Amino acid sequence: MYLFFGFGLACAIGHHVYYTRLDGKPAADQLQMLRYGMALSFAAKAGLSAAVLVAFHQRIWMTVRTRLLSVAAVDALFSVTEDLAAFLSWEMVKNAKVAAGLALFIWLAPLMVILTGNTLLVEPATTTTQDACPGVRSLNFTFEETYDWRRPSSVDGLLEIPLSLWNTTKPPDSDPPGWFDYYTAPHPILEQTATIGAFLQQTVVRKNAQVETCGSGWNCSFEISFVAPGYKCTELASGVGSRVKDLIQESGPISPPFDTDVLIPVGFHSYYAFATGGDYSSTQMEDVGIGGIPKTPPPYPRNFGALRTEPVLWVGYAELVDPSKPAPLPTSPDWKTSFVPKIFACENYEASYTVRFNYTDGTLLTNTTSLSFLSPVINTTYRPHVDASDGTADNVTAIPAGNYVLPIDTAHYRRTAAYHSLSLLVRTMVNGTINIDKTIANPVVNTGAIQTKLIDPENRYFPRPQLQTRMQRFYEDIILSMLSRTQFTPVVWAARPAEQSGTALQTGEEYRYPCTKSRTANVYKYQVRDLWIVYGIAILLSFVGVVAGQLAIGDDPADVRDAAWSSIVAATRGSALDRVNWDGRPDGPAGNPMAMKVGYGVVETPTGSDAAMSTGWDGGKPLTYGFGLEGQVRQR
């Protein structure tokens, strides 16, 4: 009895340990794992049931030793674990309550298997782990400082792609002193990448980037830090009739080229962007040959090829008071109260970025978690309507002229040119106007901004709300899209920022970068509470049954009996039972046998063949233990 109870308890604990080890693990080999759990549940049920069955046997013998029951009640008592109908014997239930309760437990024990089988579930769950990912790139614009288009660097056998194109003053067949290269335009591949990013209205994602970086079936996220250009935007006016403030640059103030009167509702423009004031001229000298080589001999003007200023991006727009409602028509009575005209200016700054990348189900989401503006890309202030008259074809004047970035300062010039190329592409796309004419149903569009995420085509091409912030994010998207073209010169390994990445994937430990990986998959979910509610009740009832069985045994080990055939034969072979009409005829010599009262105890045995089984003598008569009729058996 105790051995069976211990075995059942051990199997229940083993079931718990087994499911605990599966909890949260990928749901592989589900059928096999559930079968193992079911086997442990069956074993626990078998052990606890066997312990209660042994205790039940002791209770039935204790009952017949202490009470006289009808033959029908004794039949029910001995068969109640095999015959559910035996519970219909009220005499048995009333006189053997504990034994009946133990039998009921045995009948209900299979519920343990049924109820515990539902405690290990399979459900989708997100698994998150800290890891190191390969393929993580970052940006390092210092490589633009050393790029030489005559001797281009290559990685993995492929040429690096700079951000800018160059002209030169060096004749092809000579090497005169003082020659230099000077900026021409953004590289066509950079222009292509920026255009794709603008049209997609998000950061361009490299093909198979998530699989390379996160691994098949995984999502991942990581943060990279780098220095790159960025727009520092300042609001200068908000509201109808508001005065537009000057933009205070580090090198001096500059006045906006327009005011709020050009914007709705006073004017007719819903969007007005001026982004070319003071722009670099691709024609630096009037008379040049192939490659921009001047036809005039040196010395050349001091400001030849100089990056004099970074044009300020001036943006005016009409923001809807309630963006959730469609923009009203010019003839609507709400026209004058539905818009807030705003003007802001953006300067091209060198900035320190921390950006979080999140690859989720094939989609890249980026979020700039930290942005610190360091210094203007070119620290000058444009002076419109002031002629340069410096011997070049670039008629741009900015102050102070001492802050011009000159080609002779090669490293600084090349890096500034890269920043200028990026801002030029953005300014080209957003420059222009959207005019709302009262006589024309459709707006008159004269800007590429409608192809970007800055303009809402579903709301009559009005700018989206919070355009100032969106403009900054738009520039960031173009910069981050460079990572989709790993041949760009500034693209480096995040784990090794001093090494250009190229197109090949490096999987060595030194190239792996800290990341957080996650994936949603079917995992095992162990319902600990449910399993132990079932087992707790079963173990408690089984323990109570064992205690009841022990109480039935008492202090005499001789009282331990089972319900085996030999035990029943030994208890029923007394001659007192020979008087019963076992064929069941009520008119027999002993009447209805099923109604007779019988009990187990000391019965008299005549001298003869039964004497061998006697356990003692009583007045000269041999005594033995067995079943006897009422009045012929002595019970405890």
- Tens digit of pLDDT for each residue in 279-323? 999 999 989 999 999 998 888 999 999 999 999 999 999 998 988
Pairwise CA distance, residues 361 & 214, whole Å: 11
Q: Which of 100-114, 290-304, 439-453, 574-588 has the highest mean predicted lDDT (pLDDT)?
A: 290-304
CB 624 within 8 A of CB 574: yes
Cα dihedral 175, 179, 184, 188, rounded to 10, equals 40
Q: In 467-610, where do the E strands start and end? A: 491-493, 513-526, 597-604
The helix/strand/coil state of 118 is: coil
Indicate the domain borders of the chain.
2-119+527-563, 130-523
Task: Give the DSSP H/E element, type plus range, for residue 121.
Answer: strand 120-133
CA distances from 29 to 7, 121, 218, 528, 557 (A): 27, 13, 21, 21, 50
According to the model, what pLDDT value does residue 570 have? Answer: 66
What is the pLDDT confidence band of residue 559, given thresholds at 50, 70 and 90? Answer: low
User: Is pTM, for the whole model, over 0.85?
Assistant: no
CB atoms within 10 A of CB 277: 15
Q: Which of 561, 633, 562 is nearest to 601 (CA)?
A: 633
CB half-sphere exposure, 423, CA atoms < 13 A: 29
Indicate the Cα dihedral angle 326, 332, 338, 343, nearest 10°: 100
Tokens of 267: 């004017």
Least confident of 64-68, 204-208, 539-543, 551-555: 551-555
**Beta-carbon contacts of residue 424 (< 8 Å; ≥ 6 apart):** 185, 186, 279, 280
Output the pLDDT for position 611.
40
Instruction: Specify the pLDDT at position 380.
Output: 97
Average pLDDT of the residues in 365-391: 95
Q: Is residue 607 scored above 70 in pLDDT?
A: no
Q: How far is CA 127 from CA 181, 219, 317, in A?
A: 54, 10, 45
What is the arithmetic mean of pLDDT over 139-167? 92
